[in-house]
Amino acid sequence: MLLEVKDLHVSYGAIRALKGVSCGVKEGEIVALIGANGAGKTTTLRTISGLIRPISGDITYKGKSLIKMPPHQIVSQGISQVPEGRRVFTRMTVLENLEMGAYIRNDKANVKADIKKVFARFPRLEERKAQLAGTLSGGEQQMLAMGRALMSQPTVLLMDEPSMGLAPMLVQEIFSIIKEINQAGTTILLVEQNAHMALSIASRAYVLETGEVVLAGQASDLAKDPEVQKAYLGE
């Protein structure tokens, strides 16, 4: 595994959010974490990013433990998160948001070239580069959050609910961009309530229920599983 979560326990005070979660992503994969509201998906991602400290368990990246690293150091190892609800800097322009995504980098000349690459992938962001991010539509903000995360040149992208609040057509567009980003070489761990979309692009998936992994396997097998269909695919 490139990124591996081992027996992770996390609590918020008396609330036990993760009760021994283990999962992982191999290089080049798209792996999905699916599950209902409150299952612990976001907590898993935020713990990988170093934003939450676990009670016990380990997270390794290329065999090295991330557990004691601060978030910025985890980003500089090559792991970047696209947060739930986008969290773009609303009072900054699109261009400034992208520059913020590169804050850990010293190679300023290459940053310019990478901004061009983001604009090539998301032409709508280039058209709006001088606009304040808070004035963008939900879909455009999702694109900006993805572009900003890509500016740290991540090896692994952690994506939290990219489809949230988007119209179905935009969801299709965002998911095809996620696939393209993966095909260009970025490994992806994707958290989604839209299990249908997530299983359609992932190679493997884990199903979380109340802080535990209850099912894991090939995404195509899980999509055919009667329990998964009943609970998460509305079939």
- Which residues bind to ligand ATP, rule: CB under 6 A? 12, 15, 17, 35, 37-43, 193
Residue 217 Cβ, how far from ligand ATP at the closest point, in Å?
Answer: 19
CB atoms within 10 A of CB 227: 11
Residue 155 Cβ, how far from ligand ATP at the closest point, in Å?
Answer: 23
Nearer to ligand ATP, 42 or 153 (CB): 42
- Amino acid present at 95: L
Residue linked to tokens 């390794």: 60
Nearer to ligand ATP, 45 or 157 (CB): 45
Nearer to ligand ATP, 46 or 128 (CB): 46
Residue 184 Cβ, how far from ligand ATP at the closest point, in Å?
Answer: 27
**Cα–Cα distance, 5 to 3 (Å, whole number):** 7
**Cα–Cα distance, 97 to 91 (Å, whole number):** 9
Residue 208 Cβ, how far from ligand ATP at the closest point, in Å?
Answer: 6
User: What's the DSSP call for residue 136?
Assistant: S
Residue 188 Cβ, how far from ligand ATP at the closest point, in Å?
Answer: 17
Nearer to ligand ATP, 81 or 153 (CB): 81
Answer yes or no: are the C-beta atoms of 225 and 54 closer than 8 Å.
Answer: no
Phi, psi (deg, nearest 5) at residue 16: -90, 105
Residue 107 Cβ, how far from ligand ATP at the closest point, in Å?
Answer: 34
Start-end of H helices in the chain = 41-48, 71-77, 94-101, 108-121, 123-127, 138-150, 168-183, 195-201, 219-224, 226-232
Nearer to ligand ATP, 38 or 71 (CB): 38
- Cα dihedral 48/32/56/4 (nearest 10): -70
Nearer to ligand ATP, 140 or 161 (CB): 161
